[in-house]
Structure 1
Amino acid sequence: MTQFYQALLRDGGPRLGPRLRRCFAAWAGVEDDGGPALEHARGRSRTALADNDLCGRYLHDVPTGDGRLRTTATWAAGRKGAPGWVRVTVEGDLDQAAVTAPGFMPAFLATGRATDGAVPVEAGPHLIGPEEVKELTGWLARPDRGVPVIVLTVDRSDPNLVAACADHLAETLAGVALVARLYDARTQDDLNAWLGGDLSVFGGGLRTYLPGVRPGEETYAMRHQPRGGGAIRDQGVRSLEVVVKGVVELSVHRAVPADVRQTEPRIARVLAGALPPGELHAAPPTPAAIAVPRGPRIPRPAAPSEPQTLQPEPPAQPEPPAPPDPQPELTTAPEPGVEPDPVPEPEPAAGLADDIAAKLADRLDESVLDALVDMARGGDTETTALIKTMAAHLDALTRAVESTGLLAVRAPGQELERLRRQYDQLELDYTELQECERKAQDRIRWLESRLAEHADPVYGVQTDADRDDCWEAESLMEVVQRARKQLRHLDLPDSLDTEVSKLDVMYPRQRRRWTGRTWDALRALDAYAAARADARFTGGFYDWCARPLPGAPAITPTMVSMKESDSVSGNPKYHRARVFRVPTEIDPSGRVYMPSHIKLQQVGSPAPRMHFLDDAGGATGKVWIGYLGDHLPNTRTN
């Protein structure tokens, strides 16, 4: 699914869950009974509400155009008095859609005083006068601000138009932007005096100030996009579409805070009863704690033992009939003086129902038949009373089983949704396991490097530089940007950004899984190229991954392929798709075929690949990344 909208809010007010649930249910048109779990379907639309005192998740899935849109609101109470958090996302199986804030967001923001963690995010625009300018500049300067601030200036020719535009922006961008409207010209002058000429706003226009405003130090002031007053006066609210689209797209790429990233995968498990509520904010679980439970293992039948001679037992003496047991029995009472039949050995599961039916039929002797006839005639013998008791217990047991829904036949849509929820949860658990494995591998490499240096075991000491190596990113573009700054033996051209951004936007759930692998692969390539440049290693990158230097970054060799298949290399169409830019020192044409690639995901769709050219031992001494994106065309994709 493609993610179109994301809001991340902090709310320390009371009754966070009930407030959010009430607004969400009213927007979705659902009559909420307040129960712990509610599912409602109307046509092709479906709404699900599930929560408890600590967390909750509300979902509204509706058809739209040729696909569907899914709005999800997830919340959790804060840890040890910290404010709770809310994450709202809108996803769909559409290539593109004009998505704005869900309709319940303004109503929810009006119930409390939410923030993005640094600045207030409210239901309507802030009216800024001369007394509030200092507060506005404080919001703009906050280094931890996550949402953009949209400032609208005064238009003396039509003040009502500016007010209408501010209201429209506050509604469509609820939760992902702070909208401020200046009260008068004096306020505008005071604000511009603080911003400086490059960042000023005037003339009835507006400006979107992204996080990280630095008056007098901006190297590219136009990243804070202005919108002229003339366009607003000519087109009115329609002129704001480009502003809304830009801010909504920006919200999708906003990094998820660490506490939200750690807690959110556990919410579904808490709501399903698979995890105690007290574990919601606990330390990351071990792999065993989040393993998928399996059914009991059926023991193999034991080998037959040697036959033994049994001593004859004295015949059982008849005993007076016991009163009916309150628990239902599966056998009938024996007649006085008749020795009960031996208990049969358990039969295999196959044909179990038929075997039981046959055995019960054999046990219906004449006394039971007589009791049934007596019961039909209104008699009240002891056997008849026992049968009545058994029938009552069996009827109660049947009703109890039916009430649980265990025997109900699920509709295809319900079964599909159940499987989809299980798949989503398994995907989150798998991603968490991958992160734990990455950190463990990084720790092992650090210990190996220290052992190689000192020939002495050292434990429990890790420097900040070592700890930074196991870095977690929120998007592939973030990985690419960091690699361009830190990895000196790699070259990542700007041409990568198109396909990388496409993976980030089109597959928001999988991108966290790919970011760790991509960063590890880039670090391994950089370490390999550095070792080749210093003549500390001979061989190719595949050899490096199989036998790296002690403590050096590496990836598993199964992720690396140094060539393409003959069906790809020999096909002109597929061959051309793998030709990428290189400097003329490598090839005079400036382009070269790059069959070597790293599999960021082995199978599935998408299955991202990173194609590279190894020139670590050549003229440039670098590894050149030619492509990072979805699997290039081959005989299977075409």
Structure 2
Amino acid sequence: MTQFYQAVLRDGGPRLGPRLRRCFAAWAGVDDTGDPDFEHARGRTRTAFADNEACGRYTHDGPTGDGRLRTTATWASGRKGAPGWVRVTVEGDLEEAAVTAPGFMPAFLATGRATDGAVPVEAGPLLVGPEEVKELTGWLARADRGVPVIVLTVDRSDTNLVAACADHLAETLAGIAVVVRLYDARTQDDLNTWLGGDLSVFGGGLRTYLSGVRPGEETYPMRHQPRGGGAIRDQGVRSLEVVVKGVVDLSVHRPLPTDIRQTEPRVARILAGALPPGELHAAPPSPAAIAVPRGPRIPKPAPPSEPKTPAPELAPEPPTPALESEPELATEPAAPQPETDDLADDIAAKLADRLDDSVLEALVDMARGGDSETTILIRTMSAHLQALTRAVESTGLLDTSATDSAPGNAADQELERLRKQYEQLELDYTELQEHERKAQDRIRWLESRLAEHADPVYGIRHDTDPDGCWEAESLMDVVQRARKQLRHVDLPDTLDTEVSKLDVMYPRQRRRWTGRTWDALRALDAYAEARAEARFTGGFYDWCARPLPGAPVITPTMVSMKESDSVSGNPKYQRRRVFRVPEEIDPSGRVYMPSHIKLQQVGSPAPRMHFLDDAGGATGKVWIGYLGDHLPNTRTN
């Protein structure tokens, strides 16, 4: 599903959950009973509430246009008096949708004093006079501000138009922007004095200020987009569509704070009863704690017993009238059960069979710092997730075009349970991947420290980040960071289209790819540096199989230095793998790049990163030609 909207708020007010639930239920049009686990269905629209004293999650899923939209509000109380947090998302299976803030957001913001962690986020526009300009400039300058601040100036010809535009922006961008309307011309002049000529706003126009405004030091002032007063006067509220779209798109790519990213996966487990509410802010759970529990085994029917020696014949007794109908009742066949009734049991049995005692021991070993067992565990969890996915997809239960059924239908309930279990397995798998990345990075750092103290086992010392591996929220973040930090890897701007497509179209899967992409780029950079300095001989696959001690690597199974014969021998497929390079590598400026890194082995999408290894050549770099979904081959076409 594509994510269209995301709001991340801090709220330290009392009774956070009940306030959010009340507003959500009123917007969804549901008579909420207040039960900790309550669901309501009307036709193809379903609303679900699940909460307790520590956290909660409310969802509203319904048809819209040619597809569906799902609005989810997740909340959790803060740790030791800290403000709680709320995350609201809107996702759908539509190719394009003009999605704005859900209707309950202004009502919820009006119940408390929410912030984005740095500045207050109000239900309506803020009217700022000369006395509040200093506070406003403080908001604009804060680098930790997550939401943009939209400032509307005075229009002497039509003051009502500015007020109407401010109200419209505050409603459609509730929770993801701060809307400010300047009181008079003096306020505008005071603000522009601080902003300077490059960042000023005037003439009935508006400007969207991103975080960290630096008057006189901005290298690109147009990152704070203006909207002229003439366009607003001519088109009215319609001229604000470009502003709304820009802010909504910005909210989707806003990275989650670390504490929310770590806490949110536990919310689902707490609501499902797998964790007590007190574990919401506990230390990261061991992998054994988040493993799928072994369910009770369903006894299989006993095989028919061997025929015994017949007993001596006795004189037959005449049947009594009361027993004449019993043979018919005993031999009547049972009604067939729906095929979906046994699906959950079959999946649970498969998972239980794979999660045997040896795997649980491996989970415990990983929690204690074991490295070899960690790799085995990740592969096991991956196999479980793929098996569950294939089992669910093979039933056709996920077909949203199916006809409507009654809310109490057993198949619908089973579908919802399987969907929640699948989503939880995805979260658990992603969390385990992050633990494995951090463990590997820590091992490399420890090896470099041992090498620093002249331990001959670990060879020479390498500069490794002692603060742990970096966690990105999107693939574009990875690309931008690589362009700034990795000197021996070149990533052209042409990558951005396909990279952004993965970020936007698959928001829930992208976190699974970001760590692998960053690790792969770091490994390529370290390899190219060592190769250019003649400290290593061989190709990138050799580097991953036998790297220098403490150097960044990826699993060799992720690396493929060639394409299959069916691709290399087909001009149509080969052309799709030709990418740009500098003329010192090839005079034509383009070469065929069969070498690639598999960011996801199987599935759809299965992102790939194609590259050209010129580390030992004229440029001494690795050139990235493509980063996106799997390019066409005989299986995709």
Aligned pairs for 1:311-330 (under 5 A) are: none
The match for 2:247 is 247
Matched letter for residue 538 of structure 1: T
Distance 2:49 2:281 in 1: 22
Per-residue deviation, residues 177-198 of structure 1 (Å, max 9, x unmatched): 0000001000000000000000
Q: What's the offset of the Cα at 1:468?
A: 4.1
Distance 1:42 1:287 in 2: 39
The match for 2:152 is 152
The match for 1:69 is 69
Per-residue deviation, residues 428-469 of structure 1 (Å, max 9, x unmatched): 01110000000111111222233334344999xx99962345
Distance 1:7 1:349 in 2: 50
Aligned pairs for 1:32-47 (under 5 A) are: 32-47=32-47
User: Contact 2:2/2:506 (CA < 8 Å) preserved in 1?
Assistant: yes
Aligned pairs for 1:403-418 (under 5 A) are: 410-418=409-417
Per-residue deviation, residues 248-288 of structure 1 (Å, max 9, x unmatched): 00000101000000000010110111101111111111111
Matched letter for residue 591 of structure 1: R
Q: Residue 520 of structure 1: SS of its match in structure 2?
A: helix
User: Contact 2:489/2:621 (CA < 8 Å) preserved in 1?
Assistant: yes
User: Contact 1:578/1:593 (CA < 8 Å) preserved in 2?
Assistant: yes
The match for 2:593 is 594
Q: What's the offset of the Cα at 1:292?
A: 1.1
The match for 2:50 is 50
Gaps of 5+ in 1: 299-347, 356-368, 374-405
User: Contact 1:4/1:99 (CA < 8 Å) preserved in 2?
Assistant: yes
The match for 1:350 is 301
Q: What's the offset of the Cα at 1:295?
A: 3.1
Distance 2:410 2:542 in 1: 53
Distance 1:170 1:464 in 2: 48
Aligned pairs for 1:262-301 (under 5 A) are: 262-295=262-295
The match for 1:257 is 257
Q: What's the offset of the Cα at 1:509?
A: 0.5
User: Contact 2:597/2:610 (CA < 8 Å) preserved in 1?
Assistant: yes
Q: What's the offset of the Cα at 1:414?
A: 2.2
Q: What's the offset of the Cα at 1:570?
A: 1.1
**Cα distance change, pair 588–36 in 1 and its aligned pair in 2 (3 A):** same
Q: What's the offset of the Cα at 1:34?
A: 0.6
Aligned pairs for 1:15-34 (under 5 A) are: 15-34=15-34
Matched letter for residue 98 of structure 1: A
Per-residue deviation, residues 485-507 of structure 1 (Å, max 9, x unmatched): 11110000011111111111111
Matched letter for residue 412 of structure 1: A
Q: Residue 32 of structure 1: SS of its match in structure 2?
A: coil
Distance 2:456 2:425 in 1: 37
The match for 1:477 is 476
Distance 1:24 1:623 in 2: 51
Q: Residue 70 of structure 1: SS of its match in structure 2?
A: strand
Q: Residue 467 of structure 1: SS of its match in structure 2?
A: coil
Matched letter for residue 211 of structure 2: P
User: Contact 1:62/1:68 (CA < 8 Å) preserved in 2?
Assistant: yes
Distance 2:410 2:468 in 1: 49
Aligned pairs for 1:210-221 (under 5 A) are: 210-221=210-221
The match for 2:400 is none
User: Contact 1:7/1:88 (CA < 8 Å) preserved in 2?
Assistant: yes
Distance 2:463 2:130 in 1: 45
Q: Using structure 2 for the length normalisation, give the TM-score.
A: 0.82
Matched letter for residue 72 of structure 1: T
Distance 1:175 1:229 in 2: 25
Distance 2:493 2:211 in 1: 23
User: Contact 1:9/1:175 (CA < 8 Å) preserved in 2?
Assistant: yes
Distance 2:137 2:34 in 1: 43
Distance 2:37 2:493 in 1: 48
Matched letter for residue 184 of structure 2: D
Matched letter for residue 550 of structure 2: G
Aligned pairs for 1:452-601 (under 5 A) are: 452-456=451-455, 466-468=465-467, 470-601=469-600
Distance 1:52 1:604 in 2: 36
User: Contact 2:445/2:466 (CA < 8 Å) preserved in 1?
Assistant: no
Distance 2:300 2:426 in 1: 34
Q: What's the offset of the Cα at 1:416?
A: 1.5
Q: Using structure 1 for the length normalisation, give the TM-score.
A: 0.82
Matched letter for residue 497 of structure 1: D
User: Contact 1:450/1:457 (CA < 8 Å) preserved in 2?
Assistant: no
Q: Residue 208 of structure 2: SS of its match in structure 1?
A: strand
User: Contact 2:488/2:621 (CA < 8 Å) preserved in 1?
Assistant: yes
Aligned pairs for 1:348-387 (under 5 A) are: 349-351=300-302
Q: Residue 545 of structure 1: SS of its match in structure 2?
A: helix
Distance 2:468 2:56 in 1: 34
Q: What's the offset of the Cα at 1:211?
A: 1.1
Distance 1:423 1:637 in 2: 25
Based on CA coordinates, which of the two structures has the bigger radius of gyration?
A: 1
Distance 1:258 1:470 in 2: 13
Q: Residue 199 of structure 1: SS of its match in structure 2?
A: coil
The match for 1:332 is none
Q: Residue 443 of structure 1: SS of its match in structure 2?
A: helix
Distance 1:546 1:449 in 2: 18
Per-residue deviation, residues 593-637 of structure 1 (Å, max 9, x unmatched): 000000000001110000000000001000000000111111111
User: Contact 1:45/1:63 (CA < 8 Å) preserved in 2?
Assistant: yes
Distance 1:458 1:60 in 2: 58
Matched, 1:613 2:564: no
Matched letter for residue 159 of structure 1: T
The match for 1:303 is none
**Cα distance change, pair 589–482 in 1 and its aligned pair in 2 (3 A):** same
Q: What's the offset of the Cα at 1:412?
A: 2.4
Matched letter for residue 211 of structure 1: S
**Cα distance change, pair 447–279 in 1 and its aligned pair in 2 (3 A):** same
Identity of aligned residues (%): 88
The match for 1:393 is none
Q: What's the offset of the Cα at 1:576?
A: 0.7
The match for 2:9 is 9
Aligned pairs for 1:440-459 (under 5 A) are: 440-456=439-455
Aligned pairs for 1:232-243 (under 5 A) are: 232-243=232-243
Gaps of 5+ in 2: 306-318, 324-344, 346-406
The match for 1:392 is none
Per-residue deviation, residues 357-408 of structure 1 (Å, max 9, x unmatched): xxxxxxxxxxxx99x99xxxxxxxxxxxxxxxxxxxxxxxxxxxxxxxx9x9
How many residues of Structure 1 are paired with residues of Structure 2 in the alignment? 539
The match for 2:390 is none
Matched letter for residue 414 of structure 1: Q
Per-residue deviation, residues 230-255 of structure 1 (Å, max 9, x unmatched): 11111110000000000000000101
Q: What's the offset of the Cα at 1:297?
A: 7.2
The match for 1:81 is 81
The match for 1:202 is 202
Matched letter for residue 562 of structure 2: K
User: Contact 2:513/2:600 (CA < 8 Å) preserved in 1?
Assistant: yes
The match for 2:230 is 230
Matched letter for residue 501 of structure 1: S
Q: Residue 632 of structure 1: SS of its match in structure 2?
A: coil
Matched letter for residue 634 of structure 1: N
Matched letter for residue 156 of structure 1: R
Matched letter for residue 349 of structure 1: K
The match for 1:112 is 112
Distance 2:266 2:466 in 1: 25
Distance 1:97 1:598 in 2: 33
**Cα distance change, pair 148–96 in 1 and its aligned pair in 2 (3 A):** same
**Cα distance change, pair 577–463 in 1 and its aligned pair in 2 (3 A):** closer
**Cα distance change, pair 183–484 in 1 and its aligned pair in 2 (3 A):** same
Distance 1:450 1:203 in 2: 61
The match for 1:329 is none
Bigger Cα displacement from structure 2, 543-552 vs 450-459: 450-459
